[in-house]
Amino acid sequence: FFVNSLVSQPFRRPDQIEILLAFKNEFPILKCDFKKNDVKSFSGVFFDSETGVVTVLKMRGACLSGTLNANSSLFRLHHLRYLDLSFNYLDSFPFLPQLGKLTNLESLDLSHMGLPGEIPSSISSLNRLTKLDLSDNELTGTFSPLLNLSRLSSLSLSNNLLSGNVPCSLLTMPFLSTLHLSNNHLTVSLETMNCSSSSKLETLYLGNNRLSGRILEPLSKFTNLKKLYLSFQNTTDPINFFSLGFKSLETLDVSNNQITGKLPRSLTNCTSLEYLNVEGNRITDTFPFWLEELPNLKIIVLRSNMFHGPIYSPQHPLSFPELRMFDISRNNFTGSLPHDYFVNWSTPLLSAPQKVNQPLYMGDPFMYDYYPSMYLRNKGINMELEKIFLAYTSIDVSENKLGGQIPESIGLLKSLIVLNLSNNDFTGHIPSSWANLTSLQSLDLSRNQLSGNIPKELATLSFLAYINVSHNKLTGQIPQSTQFGGQPKSSFEGNLNLCGRPLLDSCFQDKVPSTPEAQEPEPSKQEQVFNWKAAAMGYGPGVLFGLAIGQVLYSYKPVLFFKLFRL
């Protein structure tokens, strides 16, 4: 936590510096550079400009090891308002009972520390806390120590081992707006909550638990909800979307449950909806063209259901003004797409990408808006991506039964990063207009019926890192560029007339005319007669000898006979 010098502070109380140095010396010197000899270098330490006391201590990933003892100098910093010890993996935790001494704390982050056992009861004394993060630990038990923290606005307990019920007193805390409970062992039905009072909750993560019964209706009273995550539950009950009358709902994730029937049109009541994920259910329906009535939709994920029929209708030309991600893969959609299918798609996809040194979705320090975690197929790999920045754009219609020619209008989507059309029946040529896809990083056209050459213009796409055109009917030379030459051979296999690197088939092999073999003189009639006689003389005794040997083998060793003659 002592790395780089901060801007000089107006005043630092000497006793505070003494406490910090004592705290520093409680830990062994490690190979990582989190310490410097200069005692005036305090990175992550902030002093009050008037009183000179330490109010903020940020030690996230500071390489602390060993033990933080109960008598640590840390607990002499009585004026601390912000404490972050996350991503430090200590051997033991005798300090936990002493946390209650830091009564001025407003924000406490103990995430990613491997904390075992129940939620420390000492936390219940920190009644000024507005933000508490205990995620990614090994905490068990219930929520009891937290129910007195009436000023909490943000609470994260995801990725622990918590079990039992979710009490109404937790969901209806007077100022709580964000609650993360995903990836725990919560098993009780939400129907048992029977919350009568209103809730200020705006963001609720309940994904990856074992909740049973109805999981939407009990939350219908929480009218302030903007983000709701209910993926991977244990319920077999149908999900009643009609209970969703939340005008302010922006995010709905009910992926990987047991939802059956049709996707209800009542979702259009959620007029602020931006993110819809119903992946991995059993929804049987045609394409929901009515989704275009939701003008703010940025993400549509219908993947791995039983949707069927065409995704184009002359009566319903799709127009999504804000769309960034469109995933309808692993369904039974059929039909072809007109060449102008993507003309009226979103402004973010059609607009030219921002010029930055790296793709924004990988993490820009000035961008804090991101998608929640979701399962995607990117660069040929199924992966779960977490906190994907809003600049990420993708279209995935793979593993359907779509046919006809690929729409030329895809070339208008200048900000597109991932395009997956694989495992369909598309025919015709790869459009050369795709040279306009200057942000494209992943292109999968494998297992279709595409023909013709791979456009040389694609070799100019400098960001293109993954290409797969295998198992088509492509011909000609593979464009010779770094992007294409760096791909594995398997990305081009299954095209009989494709040649060039990285395939072994060269497009420039010299065709040397074959030299006619010296022809032997035709045998005379006498020689022909002699040859036939010789063959006949050997043929008769050979047949008789073979039959005799076969009889002997069959008489004495029938198993051997069958093995030798494969009978």
Q: What is the pLDDT of residue 566?
A: 33
- Check residue 544 and give its pLDDT: 34
CA-based R_g, the chain, Å: 34
- Residue 543 phi/psi, 5-degree rounding, is -65, -45
Q: What's the pLDDT at 259? A: 84
- So what's the pLDDT on residue 387? 62
Sign of CA dihedral 27, 31, 32, 34: positive
How confident is the prediction along the chain (567 residues), in pLDDT tens digits per residue? Answer: 443 333 344 578 999 999 998 998 888 765 454 444 444 456 789 999 889 999 999 999 888 888 889 999 999 999 999 999 999 988 889 999 999 999 999 999 999 999 999 999 999 999 999 999 999 999 999 899 999 999 999 999 999 999 988 888 898 899 999 999 999 998 766 655 667 667 899 999 999 988 776 767 777 778 889 999 988 886 666 666 666 667 889 999 999 988 888 998 888 988 999 999 999 999 999 999 999 999 999 999 999 999 999 999 988 888 888 899 999 999 999 999 999 999 888 677 766 555 444 444 433 333 345 666 666 666 566 656 666 666 789 999 999 999 999 999 999 999 999 999 999 999 999 999 999 999 999 999 999 999 999 999 999 998 999 999 999 999 999 998 888 888 999 999 999 889 988 887 778 654 444 444 444 444 443 333 333 333 333 434 443 334 333 433 333 333 333 333 333
Contact 215, 233 (CB under 8 A): yes
- CA proximity to 204, closest of 185, 183, 181, 220: 181
The pLDDT assigned to 355 comes to 47
- Written as six digits, the tokens of 531 are 């040859």
Identify the pLDDT of residue 552.
36
Q: How far is CA 154 from the centre of its chain?
A: 25
Strands (E), 141-270: 154-156, 163-164, 178-180, 185-186, 203-205, 227-229, 251-253, 260-261
The three-point CA angle 381-423-391 to 5° equals 50
CB 220 within 8 A of CB 193: no
Q: pLDDT at position 64, please?
A: 84
Q: In terms of Cα–Cα distance, which of 237, 235, 284, 234 is closest to 264? A: 284
User: In whole angstroms, what is the distance from residue 110 CA to residue 331 CA?
Assistant: 42
- From the list 260, 270, 252, the residue with the least C-alpha distance to 235 is 260
Query: How do beta strands 374-378 and 381-385 pair?
Result: antiparallel
Go through the domains of the chain in sequence order and give each one's CATH number.
1-161 (3.80.10.10)
| Cβ-Cβ contacts under 8 Å for 253 (sequence gap 6 or more) | 207, 228, 229, 230, 231, 275, 277, 372, 374
